[in-house]
Structure 1
Amino acid sequence: MQSIRDRLEIILSRLANRADEKVYTKLYSEAARAAADAADARQKAGVGLGLLDGAIVSIKDLFDVAGEPTAAGSLMLASAAPASRDAAVVRRLRQAGAVILGKTNMTEFAFTAIGDNLHYGTPGNAVDASLIPGGSSSGAAVAVAEGSSAISIGSDTGGSVRIPASLNGVVGFKPTARRVPLAGAFPLSMTLDSIGPLARSVTECALADAVMAGEDSAFLQPIALAGLRVGIPRGVLFDETQAEVASAFEGSIRKLEQSGARVADLAVDDLIAEMRAATKRGTIASMEGAEVHEDWLAAGASVPVDPHVSGPLSRALAIPASVYIRTIRRRTELAASMDERLASVDVLALPTTPMVAPSIAAMTGDEALRDKTEGLLLRNTQAANQFDLCAISLPMPGMILPAGLMLVARRGHDRHLLGIAAAVETLLGR
C-alpha cells in the first residue's frame, strides 16, 4: 500500500515540474512532509488523530496561517503583518491529522465568479486550461479536480465553492452560514460568508465539514431516495440555461424519479423577485465588502487592484447606512418566508450553473459578455446565501464539459442534505 509520504512526493514532484504554477500561491513542502511522515507512523502504530488523518488538504489563500501574511489574492495584503495564529478551520484540520499541502489561488478579495486573478495568474480549468475555472475558490476546485489535493477548503459568499466545483466537475458543499467558524478567514460579507469543502466525493466533503464544524462524528446517515420530496424551482432560475446543461439536469431528475423520489415543481420566483428588489441599490456582499475595505477605497489603493473588484466596492461605499439596514431587515423576513416555503420538500434541485465554462480569452476581451457571464454564474448559487440555506453541487453524468446538479436544503439541515447528496451521487454514478 502506498504511504502518505509517497503520495505527497508524487504530487510535489508534479507541481515542481509545472513551469507556470497558478493553482497554488504557496506550498508548505517541508511541513507537509513532516505531517505525512507523522501520519504514516501513526498508521503503522495503529492509532489515528481523527477523521482526516493523512488526507492531503489545501486551503484557500484567505485563511490565516501563523507567521505569514494572508494575501487573499491581492498584492495589497502580500506584505501585511503576519497572522499570529492559524485560522480556526486550519487549526481543526491539523488536529484531525490533515496534511496541509499549500494555499490555493483565488480571485482578489474573494470577489467575482469568473476565477481570474490579475496578480497571481488565472488557474486554467482542470478539464481544459483555456477555460475559466470559476471563482472565487478557483485554485481549490482545480486542485481537487487535477488530484493534487484530496480535499480543498474554500469560502462561499455567493457561490464561490459551488461555481468552481460545477465548472471543474467536483463536489462542492456550502454549509449553513455560521456552522463553521469564520475566525481567521479574511472576510467579504459577515452576513453571507460560509466556509465549505471541495472534494471528489460527498463523503470526503462530509468528513471535512464535520471536522471544521467541530462535530465528533462524521457518520453520514444514508437517506432513502424512495419517497424523497424534491422541489424543482422552475422559472427565472432556469432562464438561459444551455441546452447541454438542461439535458443533463433533466436526465438526472428522471433517474431520481425512477428511484422513487417524488418530484414536483415548487415556485419561488416571487421570493427571488422580492430579494432582487431588496438588493437593487446594492448587494449585501458589496455593501459589507465596502465596509471591510473602506480605508483604501476612501484613500485610494497603494497598489493595483482588479477594477472588477474595486469598481463595485467603490460604488457600494456611497450607499447610505439606512439602505443597508433596510436590506438586512428585509433579507431576514424573506429568509423566513423561504424557510416556510421549503418545509414541503426535502431538497430543491436545479442546475448549479446554467452554463459550462467559457474561455478565459472571451472573458478578457469583452466586458459586456463578462458581466453577463458573471451574472449567470452567480444567479442560481447566490440564492442559497441570500436566503440562508445550505447547498451542494454534484457533477452531472454524461457531459463533455462539466456542470453541476445543485441540491439545496433549509438552514441547519446540513447533515440531512449531505446524506441525500451521498445517495444521489451513488444513483448518478451508476
Structure 2
Amino acid sequence: MPYTPTLASLADDLENGRTSARKLVDECIARIADPAGEGQRVFIHVDKDAAIEAAEAMDRLRKAKAAPSRFAGIPVSIKDLFDIKGQVTRAGSRALDDSPPAQADATAVARLRRAGFIVIGRTNMTEFAYSGIGINPHYGTPKSVWQRSVGHVPGGSSSGAAVSIADGMAHGALGTDTGGSCRIPAAFNGIVGFKPTQRRVPLDGGVPLSSTLDSFGPLARSVSCCAILDAVLADEPVMPLRPRPIKGMRLAVPTTVVLDDLDDAVAQTFDRALEKLSREGALIERIEVPGFLDIGVMNAKGGFSAAESYAWHRFLIASKGDIYDPRVAVRILRGEGMSAADYVDLINARRSLIARTEKRIAPYDALVLPTTANTPPRIPDLTADKAFTTQNMRALRNPSLINMIDGCAISIPAQRDGEVPVGLMLAAAGGSDRRIFELAAGMERAIRV
C-alpha cells in the first residue's frame, strides 16, 4: 500500500502526542533496513546514530515547548550531492571516495536542520547527476514503485530521493534539478517533485553539474509538502497554501516539441487530465512556443551541462576517468570540444530565449505538459547504450525546457490507482513559484479522479 502521511499530518501527530520524533526515525530506519525492500539501493549512507540522537533532542525540545518549528523531528533524506558536515560527499561516484569530509553543511541542508528536520541519510543518485534515468553501476539502482517485481528505472538523477519518499523511508527529500532531476523521478514514482526558480535557493555546498541550470528542490508526497520544504530551503516563512479553484485557471498546452513521441499511457493520461480540468472550468489553450525549437540547436554541442561539468571534472576525470560510469564520462567529455566562443554564444542565445519565451507565455497562469514523454522503462531493456540514450533523452526533454528558460515547475501524479505512473507538469517563468504551488494544489486530486 502507498505510504501517505503528509508533513502537515505528521506535524499534527507530533503536536498532539500521537507520535514522537524518535518513533518516526525508528520507523524510517526499519523500512530502510527491510531486506525485502529497496533500502540498500536507495541509501548510500544511513545516519542512524545521529538521527536517533537528533530525534530524542527534538522530543525534549517539543516537551519544553521549544521546538524550532512544528515540523521538528520529521525525518528527511538528502541527495548524495550535498555536503553534510563530517561526511564525504561522493555524488553517487567512487571517484570522490578519498575526498575529505565536508567542513560544513550545505546551506540547503543547514536550513532544513534549523527548522528541526532530521537527516536520516544520503540517497543514491545517477553518478554526478548526469542522467534522467537513475541507473548507478557503483551503488546499484533502486527500483521504481511501478511493478517492482519486474524492475523499472526510478528516474534520475534524484533516484534514491524519490524512492525514499514513496517507500516511507523518509517524509521529505532534498534533491537537485538541472534538467528534470526532481521532476522525472517524482513522475516515475507517483509523487510530487518541484524545481524552484534557481535564484531562490543557494547552490553552495552541492557538487555542481551546471552552475547555469542547477537548482535545489524538494520531493514529497503532496504539493503542500513540497511547498513547505521549498519555503524552508528558500529561507521564507512557511505560509498556508491556498489552492486555486480550477474554474478560471488559464492554462497553455505547448504544441511545440513537448507532445512529440509520447508513450500511449502518457498521452492518454495527459489527455484525460486536460479533459477533467476543462470540465471543471479551466481555460485551456494550445499554443506554439517557438523558442522550444531553438533549444535542441543550442544543446547540439552538449550545452551548458557539458561545458560546465567538464570545467569542474577535467582534472578528476583525467586521473580517475576509469572509475566513472562510462555513460556519464562520455557526456562530460563533450565539453572538452566546446570553445569559449561556443560558450558565449550559448549564454547569449539563452538570454534571448528567456526573453522571447516569457513574453509568449505571459498571458497564462501556467504551461501544462507531460512531465516526461515516457513511462518508467524496464531496467533490463537499457543495457544497450542506444536504448539507454533514447530513453534518457525522452525523459529529460520536457523538464529540461523549463531549466533552459530559467523557470519554475512542479510534477504531480496524474495516473489513477493501479495505472503506470505519469506526471503532469505545471511550469511558468522564474519567480512564479507560489502561483505554481497554488495551481497544483487546486488540481492535484481532481486530475486523478
Deviates more, 1:179-188 or 1:211-220: 211-220
- Give, in angstroms, the shift of residue 393 of structure 1: 0.3
Q: Could you tell me how far apart the structure 2 residues matched to 1:426 and 1:302 are? A: 46
Q: Which runs of 5+ in 2 are unaligned?
A: 1-17
When residues 201 and 294 of structure 1 are mapped into structure 2, their CA distance, relative to the original with a 3 A threshold, is same
1:81 equivalent to 2:103? Answer no
Q: Could you tell me how far apart the structure 2 residues matched to 1:54 and 1:425 are? A: 27
Q: Is the 8 A contact 1:141 1:168 kept in 2?
A: yes
Secondary structure of residue in 1 paired with 2:99: coil
When residues 235 and 315 of structure 1 are mapped into structure 2, their CA distance, relative to the original with a 3 A threshold, is closer
- The within-5 A match list for 1:12-411 is 12-18=29-35, 21-50=40-69, 52-129=71-148, 130-268=151-289, 270-297=290-317, 299-301=318-320, 303-364=322-383, 366-398=384-416, 400-411=419-430
TM-score of the superposition, structure 2-length normalised?
A: 0.92
| Partner residue, 2:432 | 413
Alignment length, in residue pairs? 427
- Give, in angstroms, the shift of residue 344 of structure 1: 1.1
TM-score of the superposition, structure 1-length normalised?
A: 0.96
Q: Could you tell me how far apart the structure 2 residues matched to 1:393 and 1:338 are? A: 20
- Give, in angstroms, the shift of residue 244 of structure 1: 1.4
Q: Could you tell me how far apart the structure 2 residues matched to 1:109 and 1:281 are? A: 19
Q: Which runs of 5+ in 1 are unaligned?
A: none
- Give, in angstroms, the shift of residue 316 of structure 1: 1.4
Q: Could you tell me how far apart the structure 2 residues matched to 1:215 and 1:260 are? A: 32
- Give, in angstroms, the shift of residue 317 of structure 1: 1.2
Residues 130-154 of structure 1: CA deviation (Å, up to 9, x unaligned): 1101110000001011111110110
Q: Is the 8 A contact 1:51 1:207 kept in 2?
A: no
- Give, in angstroms, the shift of residue 287 of structure 1: 1.0
Q: Could you tell me how far apart the structure 1 residues matched to 2:252 and 2:267 are? A: 16
Give the counterpart letter for 2:110 in structure 1: R
Give the counterpart letter for 2:407 in structure 1: L
Q: Is the 8 A contact 1:52 1:93 kept in 2?
A: no
% of aligned pairs identical? 41
Residues 169-193 of structure 1: CA deviation (Å, up to 9, x unaligned): 1000000112101110111111000
Q: Is the 8 A contact 1:180 1:195 kept in 2?
A: yes
- Give, in angstroms, the shift of residue 251 of structure 1: 1.1
Q: Could you tell me how far apart the structure 1 residues matched to 2:265 and 2:83 are? A: 40
Q: Is the 8 A contact 1:52 1:207 kept in 2?
A: no
Q: Could you tell me how far apart the structure 2 residues matched to 1:79 and 1:285 are? A: 25
Deviates more, 1:217-226 or 1:276-285: 217-226
Residues 233-262 of structure 1: CA deviation (Å, up to 9, x unaligned): 124211111111111111111111122110
Q: Could you tell me how far apart the structure 2 residues matched to 1:239 and 1:170 are? A: 24
Q: Is the 8 A contact 1:221 1:416 kept in 2?
A: no
- Give, in angstroms, the shift of residue 302 of structure 1: 5.9
Q: Is the 8 A contact 1:166 1:393 kept in 2?
A: yes
Secondary structure of residue in 2 paired with 1:344: coil
- Give, in angstroms, the shift of residue 197 of structure 1: 0.4
CA RMSD, 1 decimal: 1.5
Give the counterpart letter for 2:258 in structure 1: L
Q: Is the 8 A contact 1:230 1:261 kept in 2?
A: yes
Q: Could you tell me how far apart the structure 2 residues matched to 1:238 and 1:170 are? A: 22
| Partner residue, 1:6 | 23
Q: Is the 8 A contact 2:415 2:423 kept in 1?
A: no
Secondary structure of residue in 2 paired with 1:224: coil
Q: Is the 8 A contact 1:290 1:316 kept in 2?
A: yes
Secondary structure of residue in 1 paired with 2:415: coil
Give the counterpart letter for 2:180 in structure 1: G
Q: Could you tell me how far apart the structure 2 residues matched to 1:11 and 1:282 are? A: 40
Residues 81-123 of structure 1: CA deviation (Å, up to 9, x unaligned): 1111000011100000101100000011110111011111111
Residues 13-64 of structure 1: CA deviation (Å, up to 9, x unaligned): 2322327711000111111112222222333334431253122100000110
Q: Could you tell me how far apart the structure 2 residues matched to 1:214 and 1:195 are? A: 13
- Give, in angstroms, the shift of residue 278 of structure 1: 2.1
